[in-house]
Structure formats: structure tokens, C-alpha cells
Amino acid sequence: MNLMENVRQLIVEASEGAVSPDQVLRAGDRLTDLGLDSLAVIKLIVLIEENYGIELDIEEAENRQLLHSLSRLCEYLHMEAGLPQP
């Protein structure tokens, strides 16, 4: 599974049903438009930290709009955490 697919699965898991597995998540989709509330965003950050062994500061994520879209988040994980390109 590539980085983008893995992050998609983490979004589904963090949303606890707000985003279904069959829902198409395009790279440019705004995560807030998918129904992620603030609690789901925090869960997503925790899941990312656990799965990729990195620390993601929520203030930095907000300031840099890292959680704005799937593609932006994957780009960050690639550039900052050295993960394979999405």
C-alpha cells in the first residue's frame, strides 16, 4: 500500500464512520469537507504519529495547513518524515 492509500485508511479510521471506506477521497479533497471534526483531526494526528514514528505538532499542522488536504498531508510526510513519495 502506498503512502496516499495508507493515509486514506488512517482518515477513515480517525473519522469513526464519518468517512466510509468506499467513499472516494481524491488527493485535493479538503479533509474538513469530508466530515472530520476536531476530535477526528486529533485522532488522525495520533494515528499518523503511531504509524510513522514521527511527532506532529498540532499548531504546526494548523499553521502550515498540513491537514488541509490529503495531498498536502502526504507531501509533508514525504518531505519532513522521509516517507516514500505519494
| Cell numbers for 3 | 503512502
- Residue 60 to residue 20: CA distance in whole angstroms: 28
Q: State the DSSP H helix or E strand holding residue 86, giving kind and residue range, or none if neither.
A: none
Range of the domain at 62: 3-81
- Cα–Cα distance, 21 to 13 (Å, whole number): 9
pLDDT higher than threshold 80 for residue 22: no
47 versus 61: the higher-pLDDT residue is: 47
pLDDT confidence of residue 13: 94
Residue 30, domain member (yes or no): yes
What CATH number has the domain bearing residue 37?
1.10.1200.10
pLDDT band at 27 (very low <50, low <70, confident <90, very high): low
Contact present, 52 and 74 (Cβ < 8 Å): no
Q: Give the chain's mean pLDDT.
A: 84
Domain count, the chain: 1
Residue 28 domain-assigned?
Answer: yes
Does residue 54 sit within a domain? yes
Residue 86 lies in a domain: no
Q: Is residue 71 part of a domain?
A: yes
Mean pLDDT of all residues in 46-59: 91
